[in-house]
Structures are given as structure tokens and as C-alpha cells.
Amino acid sequence: MKRSLLTLPALLALAAGTLLADPVPVLTVQQVDAKDTAGYVAMIAKINALVKARVGIEHYRHVWEGDFAGESSHAIFVVTSYPSAADIYKIDDKLKNYPEMDVVLEQLKDMRHLGPSELYKAVRNDGVYEGGAVFNTSVAVTDEDTYLKTLDDLKGIFDANGFKDTKINLYREISGRTSSTHLVVISLPSQARVAELLDALSDKALLKDWYVAAAKVRTSLANGTYHEITK
């Protein structure tokens, strides 16, 4: 059985992909223990097809796996995007009395165990690459507006140093919060590109001044890399 995700704030809350048009969506991040990862991912694909047929939403659920992510390495979790917290329940209502969905959900009972879940609100939303990878950092922020400006500066540094394809997102933790207040999600097209970014970040001179500025309003608590495995 896959290991539990022990620290959801360190997840990629990521980064769900563009499911709906709202530019600042909310995300749900659901911890999952799955007996068979490949089988579970296949069932999520069935759910996504049923949701599309019923309510017209593309790629409703996204499944991610931890890479170099501490206790969350090789663990899996599901991320879903909504225009608002209220829409979570509006969409759930539309999926009730849906016999085909009920069959799939019944099958899932023997395939997985649900752990804790968290709710995030996007406050900077560059988006993510579907089927891509992310580098996440959970942070405690004392001044959100100032920190957003430092992320603009970070994007400028990336653009000037061969990483124009980075997408930087900031999510505020709404519910389920522990020690962190926000999650930074840096999205790239592949695991290889994330690794290249990490090599660049290991050059301390590159971000020396940026770290000094960011430290005035944030404390970094945990980080990790993840990639999407949704079919």
C-alpha cells in the first residue's frame, strides 16, 4: 500500500490544471492510500469521463505522485479545481443520482483509503502544465501583497536565466491549515526541467538578493518535487 501523505501543506496543491475559467480558483488536495496505483489512476480516468458527460468539465480530477518530497515521496494525491468553495458542493449535487458514477465509486472503496484533505485559494495563478511536474514550497507568510511582488521578481530572474517556461503559482491555505499559510507551486513541462531548475537554484549567487528580500515576509517550511500521473 502506498505510504500516506503526512504533510499536506508540502504537497503540490497544485496545481490542478485549467479545469474551469475562473482565473483565481480554489483547489482541493486529497490524500490517498492506494493498493494499486495504476488501477487507481485508471478509475480516476473513468470518473473524469463520467463527469465530462454529466456536467461538461474536462479533466476533473488530477492524480499526482511525489518524487523527491521527503515523507511524501512515492505517495499519491488527487487535486481538483473549482471556481469557488461553494462550487464544490454545487458540482457534487449535479453528480448525485448518477448510476454509472455510483458503480465506479463503489469499486473504489476496495482500492483506496482517503486521508486528510485541504482547501486552497489561488492568489497568483500562472497555471500548470498538464502531465508536467512541479517544485513546491510551503511557507509561512506575514505580508501576502509584499510576497506576491517578490514572486514577480523571482519570475524575472527565471526568465533572464533560461527558465521562461516556469509558471509560478501562490495558493493561500483556507482550511486544513497547519504551520504554513501558503503554498508556492513552480510548474514546468517535465521532471527533467524541474531537475534543471533545481540545479540552477543550487547556485546560491543567483538568488542571493532575492532570498534576503523574501525572508522579510516569509519563512520556508518544506519543499518537494511532484509529477502528474493522470491518464
In the chain, residues under CATH classification 3.30.70.100 are 8-121, 126-225
Report the alpha-carbon distance of residue 21 to residue 24 in Å, rounded: 9
Q: Which CATH number fits domain 126-225: 3.40.50.2000, 1.10.10.10, 3.40.190.10, 3.30.70.100?
A: 3.30.70.100
CATH topology of domain 8-121: Alpha-Beta Plaits (3.30.70)
Q: What's the rounded Cα separation, in Å, for the pair 123 and 132?
A: 21
C-alpha span between 98 and 115 (Å, rounded): 25
**φ, ψ (nearest 5 deg) of residue 174:** -90, -45
For residue 136, list its beta bridge partners.
185, 224
In terms of Cβ atoms closer than 10 Å to its own Cβ (0-12, 13-18, 19+), residue 164 is exposed
Kindly give the pairing relationship between strand 167-175 and strand 133-141.
Answer: unpaired
Residues linked to residue 140 through DSSP beta bridges, in sequence order: 219
What's this model's pTM, rounded to 2 decimal places? 0.87
Residues facing residue 33 across a β-bridge: 113
| 231 residues of the chain, pLDDT tens digit each | 333 333 443 344 443 333 333 456 899 999 899 989 999 999 999 999 999 999 999 999 999 999 999 888 999 999 999 999 999 999 999 999 999 999 999 999 989 999 889 999 999 999 999 999 999 999 999 999 999 999 999 999 999 999 999 999 999 999 998 889 999 999 999 999 999 999 999 887 899 999 999 999 999 999 999 999 998
